[in-house]
Amino acid sequence: MIAFFRTIDDGGDVKKELLRRFARGWMIFIIALVCAIGGGVCRADTAIWEIDVDSDGILMDDDRALVRREAINNALEKSIISVVSTIVPAEKMSQYQEILHEKIYLKARGYIRDYRIAGETTTENGVYTVSIKAAVSADSVRRDLERLGLVIPADEVFPETMIIVAEKGRDDAVPLYRTQYTEPSFSEELLRKQFSERGFPVIDRQTVADAGGYFGDESETNRIAYLGRQCGAELIIVARSIVAPVTEEGQIVSHGLRAEVEGCAIVADDGSILTSARAESLSSAGDETEETEKSLIESAVAKMAADLIDEIRAKWKETQRRRQTITIAINGIERYADYARIKEVVEQDLAGVRAVRQYRMGKERAVLHVDVERPLLSIADDLGVRIFEGLTVQVTNIGTDRIDLHIVR
C-alpha cells in the first residue's frame, strides 16, 4: 500500500490517469442512475427501420421536376405501407384501407426521419424511376395504429361494451332499434364487428333482447345507461344509420344516395356522454342499387367507428383513473328493504365515499359502483364491523377493486 501511494506521488502522469478513471467511473454511475430513475430515458426514443423502395412516374411535357417530386412522395408513402404491412395483417389492411390512407399514409413524411436518393433512371419511353432509402420511425407508426385500434397494446383494458343502432333504409319511415330481436340490423352488425376487431368485448344481442331491449331515442341517456347496466355493460354505443336520396334544403337534387351514421359513447355508471362521432358517404348520380346502399353504409360505419374508437381510447382511461371506483356486490337479498338499508349505510355512514350508483339489481343479488377516496381494504374493514339495523352482513371476499358482502339469515 505504501509503495502504491509512493508511485502516485512520484509520477504525475500516473496520478492524472487514476483521477481520470475515477471521474469516468463516477460519470458512468451517475448516467446509469439517471436511466434507472427515469425509466429508461437514455434509450433511443424510437425504432428506426431502413426501407428500400422504388417509384415510377411518366414524363409529360418535359416537366421532370414535378414528376420527380411526385415519384419521391409516392416512394415515401410506399415505405410507410411497407412498415404497416409488417404490423397489421393483410386482411385487416385491406378492410381498413380508407382509414389507413387518411390517417397514416397521407402523413408519410411525418414518420420519415431521413431519406436519400439511391438512384434515378429514365427510359426512352419517358418512364422515370427513383430508388430511395428511407429511415422510418416504426414506433411512431405503431403508436398511431394503436391509437386507431388497428393494433392492440398488450396492457390495454377495454370496457364491456353494449351496442345498439337505429337503422333507417330508403323504404323505412323512421329509424328503428329493433332490440327486441336477437339478430342485429346490417348497420349494427358492421359496428359490432368494428369494435370487436379492435379489442372491445361486445355484449351479445341475445343479452340485450333478454333485458327488454330499447325503444326510445338516443337523447334518453339515463334509460340507455340503465339498460346497459342490466346487461353488464360499462360503456354503451348508441348510433343512428340513415340512407336517403341526396337532398338540398329538403329537395332531392340528384338520383344518388347518402348514408349518414352518427353515434355516441355513454358511460353506463352515470349516463354521461363520453364522446361522439359522425360520418357520411355519397354515391354517384344514378347509382341507387341495394349493393350501393350497403357499400355506403359500410364506408360510413367504418369512418365513424374509427373516430369514435380513437376518442374512447383517449378518454376512457382518464375517466376511470379520475373516478377511483370500486365494486360492492351484495348477495343473499330476500327483501328490497335489506338492499336499501345496506346501500344507505354505504352512501351515508362510510367515510371516504363520494358517490354510490346502483349498477345492477337482480334476484338475490345487487351490485353497487362506489367512488371512494380511501383504500379498499380500509372500507372492507369498516364494513366488516359495521352494524346494519336488523341485518347480519359478512364480508366474504376482497379483490383488487371489489368487495363481496353476504346477508346471513
Q: What is the pLDDT along the chain (409 residues), one digit of tens a residue?
A: 333 333 334 444 444 444 454 444 444 343 333 333 333 333 344 588 999 999 998 887 767 888 888 999 999 999 999 999 988 888 888 888 888 999 999 999 999 999 999 999 988 888 899 999 999 999 899 888 888 878 877 667 788 999 999 998 777 777 888 777 788 889 999 999 999 988 899 999 888 888 887 777 667 888 888 888 888 888 999 999 998 887 665 555 556 788 999 999 998 877 889 999 999 998 876 677 888 888 999 999 999 999 999 899 888 877 766 667 899 999 999 989 899 999 999 988 887 787 888 888 888 899 999 988 778 888 888 898 888 888 899 999 998 889 999 998 7
Answer for the pair 328, 370: CB distance below 8 angstroms, yes or no: yes
- Alpha helix segments (H runs only) across 55-107: 64-87, 90-95, 97-103
Q: What is the pLDDT of residue 286?
A: 67
Please tell me the predicted confidence (pLDDT) of residue 14.
42
Strand bridging mode 325-331 / 402-408: parallel
What is the rounded CA–CA span in Å between residue 294 and residue 128? 41
**In this predicted structure, what is the pLDDT of residue 38?**
35
Residue 52: count of CB within 10 angstroms of its CB: 12
Entry field: residues in the chain: 409
Q: What is the CATH number of domain 48-148?
A: 3.10.129.140
Task: Determine the straight-line distance between the first and last CA of the chain, rounded to whole angstroms.
Answer: 82
Cβ–Cβ under 8 Å, residues 142 and 216:
no
- Round to whole Å and give the CA distance between 203 and 236: 10
For residues 190 and 294, what is the distance between their CA atoms, to the nearest angstrom? 10
What cell numbers appear for 235 in the block?
A: 360503456
pTM attached to this predicted model: 0.54
Question: What are φ and ψ of residue 204, in 5° steps?
Answer: -70, 155
Tell me the fold of 161-319: Rossmann fold (3.40.50)
Burial degree of 140 (CB within 10 A; 0-12, 13-18, 19+):
buried
* Residue 254, pLDDT score: 59
Asked if residues 310 and 147 have their Cβ atoms less than 8 Å apart, the reply is yes
What distance in Å separates the CA atoms of residue 68 and residue 311, rounded to the nearest whole number?
A: 38
Give the pLDDT of residue 43.
32
The answer to whether 158 and 200 have CB atoms below 8 angstroms apart is: yes
